Structure 1
Amino acid sequence: MPDLVILRHGNTFDKGDAVLRVGAGTDLPLSGSGREQADAVGRALAERFGGFSRIFAAPLKRTMETARRVCAAQDAPPAIETEESLTEIHYGPDEGKPEEEVVARIGADALAAWEESAAPPPGWRVDPAALTGSWRAFFEKLAGGPGPVLAVTSNGVARFALAAADEKDGDFPQKLKTAAYGVVRIGPGGGARVVAWNLRN
């Protein structure tokens, strides 16, 4: 049964920067601290898993750069495969806006519902059923193949892997911290069990 490691990209903002709501329409590279995070998690993943048989990443600067930095810690990494289904959601009218403006528009309760139960606020371009289905299709694609496998994505998309899994070894939070990862064990028929979530080492 291959292990799928789902990794969120590193920081796109550093201390003192104005933090924006970054989605599919805001293609930022990693910040200085984000590059350090990606290097650190790359070393941690190399120590825990050795080499990856396949590495997938969403086609955004921050996800591709994170994947490249993880590859740098591997002895003989495979080529990075672009995976569109891992691309972050679009935050609609809140895309690229400062967080205080986002909260002012949708309210703290709506933002909390997103963080706690993946319920999209009004106006965000996100289809929970479609994203859950995309993860299930991805699990099926990997079933029976070699492992471990790495998928680098963003927080808005990663959380739906929890909904797509058949089993979870705990009551995991929806959110992945930057440069944190989860581990999903893929069964022969594409069934999935989340065995860890929100790890950095």
Structure 2
Amino acid sequence: MIRWLLALGLLLATLPGMAQVYTYIDAQGNRVFTDQPRPGNAKKVQLPPGNRMSPPSASAAPAPTAENRPEPLFHYEMLRLLIPEPDATIRSTAGELIVSVTSEPGLKKGHRYRLLLDGQPTGAPGPSPVFALSDIDRGTHHLAVEILDEQDRILERTANQPFHMQRMSLAQKRRIKPCAIADYGLRPECPLADKPEEESSILPFF
């Protein structure tokens, strides 16, 4: 029994995966296995299903290489607002403000500054460290500045820095510095329409 099982195993190992196996008893009483049908007493052998493993899929994602790893972000040692100073009070009739920033090291090629007023960008980012703002509402506001790289990634950002805008009305400016005759038409708070008529120095003729 063991001999013919071994013979069957060897035969299966040498035959193609889809070949048919036959068995019969020869004239000497030995069991024989073959892949050729034999007229007479040869019988088909029922083969068990195969146990083959599929090869790994070729579409599997490749391991990351040095070429496709993202470059590390550049970091600046220092970034801060120079003007205005923290908690500064700005007095402007038109709500105007000049903002200046600095970084260490200096701005790298392709990098840009972006100024934020109350969390919103004041304009398109650019290489200039000076920003001119106007028509800022009266009250307390917050400034912050960011540095962006070529892919618009934020490299650095300052904390929000408060300042206070005081917009004086024309009436307030006139009270602080009353209009002289020569000021009308020159100072915005002294329009020509408000210029008083000059008194005549000629006495009336009787």
Tell me if TM exceeds 0.5. Answer: no
TM-score normalised by length of structure 2:
0.20
Whose relative contact order is higher, 1 or 2, with alpha carbons under 8 Å and at least 6 apart? 1
TM-score normalised by length of structure 1:
0.20
